[in-house]
Amino acid sequence: MSTSTGLTRTPLRRFLDYAVLSVLAFIFTLPVIYLFLGSLKPSDEVLNGLSGFLPTHLSFDNYSAVLDSLNSDSTGYFWRFMGVSLLLTFVVVTGGLFVNSMAAYGLSRLKWRGREATFTLILLMMMVPFESVAVPLFYMFNDQRNTLYILAIPFIANAFSIYQFHTFFRSIPPSIEEAARIDGAGPWRTFFAIIIPMSKPAFASVAILTFLTQWGSFLWPVLMVSDPSVRPLPLEMSVFQDQLPPDWGQILAFGVLLVLPVLIVFAFFQRWFVQGVASSAVKG
């Protein structure tokens, strides 16, 4: 009797779990739906409360207006702003994957004096918000303002990324590396030929999180950029939003263009990202 009751409860509980998760997913998706629908509406129909979800008077005029308004030397070029953001994000993501994964491998698998103290220092650095060091960094690099490299270099090394890689590398069986050493592989060959291919989920999750952080970076560009030629897209959106009178349809269209690369990157790396987060949660 108890066995049959347990069997009947399992599908019901699974249904309830999926129902609750579906409702939560829908609630979290509502702002994105509102953003997309609002970008297709005239400005006077955007800020209408719940009626903003009604798909009426839809067109792509707002997107054309945004691209046309940012297409001259006086206003700057939208695709240049996009290119600056893509370049900065590419440098930070690729450089961060290389630097942080190597640092994590040295901390997790190699034995050297001061390893534990260094890792403890990295953990402490995770608790320091960037806002607390932004002003000292501003005065330190004031002579390098309005340069692309100063917008990227301070963010390549990242304590949280090192911690993520460190957690994943510690879950790899040491016997695999011992077998590689028996075959004559040194630390460099072991890292590039064995560890990296086995760590695709970790690399994907770190890449996505780094991409999200860097793509939406705003405080550092505000401090370091005054030249429109090196202005990234989030900073340009704040300038575009401050124009009077505000056209909310165009502002939301700009927001969609800003969010679209994030959705594309996440869709491409989604499977590996979920694997990396799940493995870090279980093994960490």
Residue 66 lies in a domain: no
Residue 69 lies in a domain: no
Is it the case that residue 3 has pLDDT exceeding 70?
Answer: no
Q: Verify that 121 and 255 share a domain, yes or no.
A: yes
The pLDDT of residue 162 is 94
pLDDT averaged over the chain? Answer: 85
Is it the case that residue 158 has pLDDT exceeding 80?
Answer: yes
Q: Verify that 131 and 265 share a domain, yes or no.
A: yes
- Residue 225 zone, left/alpha/beta (φ > 0; ψ -120 to 50; rest): beta
Q: In which band, very low, low, confident or very high, does the pLDDT at 246 lie, cut at 50, 70 and 90?
A: confident
Q: Verify that 134 and 175 share a domain, yes or no.
A: yes
The pLDDT of residue 92 is 96
Is it the case that residue 145 has pLDDT exceeding 80?
Answer: yes
Q: Verify that 111 and 159 share a domain, yes or no.
A: yes
Q: Verify that 49 and 86 share a domain, yes or no.
A: no
Q: In which band, very low, low, confident or very high, does the pLDDT at 73 lie, cut at 50, 70 and 90?
A: confident
Q: Verify that 159 and 189 share a domain, yes or no.
A: yes
Domain membership of residue 146 as a residue range: 76-283
Closest CA to 126 of 209, 221, 234: 209
CATH number at residue 163: 1.10.3720.10
* pTM of the entire predicted model: 0.83
Residue 124 lies in a domain: yes
The CA-atom distances, in angstroms, between 227 and each of 28, 81, 147, 235, 244 are: 36, 12, 9, 11, 21
Q: Percentage of residues in the chain with pLDDT exceeding 70? A: 92
The pLDDT of residue 172 is 85
In the predicted model, what is the mean pLDDT of residues 105-116? 87
Is it the case that residue 90 has pLDDT exceeding 70?
Answer: yes
Q: Verify that 173 and 244 share a domain, yes or no.
A: yes
Alpha-carbon gap, residue 31 to 169, rounded angstroms: 37
Q: Verify that 30 and 90 share a domain, yes or no.
A: no
Is it the case that residue 168 has pLDDT exceeding 80?
Answer: yes
Q: Verify that 35 and 148 share a domain, yes or no.
A: no
Q: Verify that 37 and 139 share a domain, yes or no.
A: no
Q: Verify that 105 and 17 share a domain, yes or no.
A: no
Count of structural domains within the chain: 2
Q: Verify that 53 and 82 share a domain, yes or no.
A: no
Q: In which band, very low, low, confident or very high, does the pLDDT at 214 lie, cut at 50, 70 and 90?
A: very high
Residue 257 lies in a domain: yes
Alpha helices in the chain (DSSP H): 2-39, 61-69, 78-108, 115-126, 131-140, 148-152, 159-170, 174-182, 187-190, 196-198, 200-215, 219-224, 233-241, 248-283
The residues with which 71 forms a beta bridge, in sequence order, are: 77
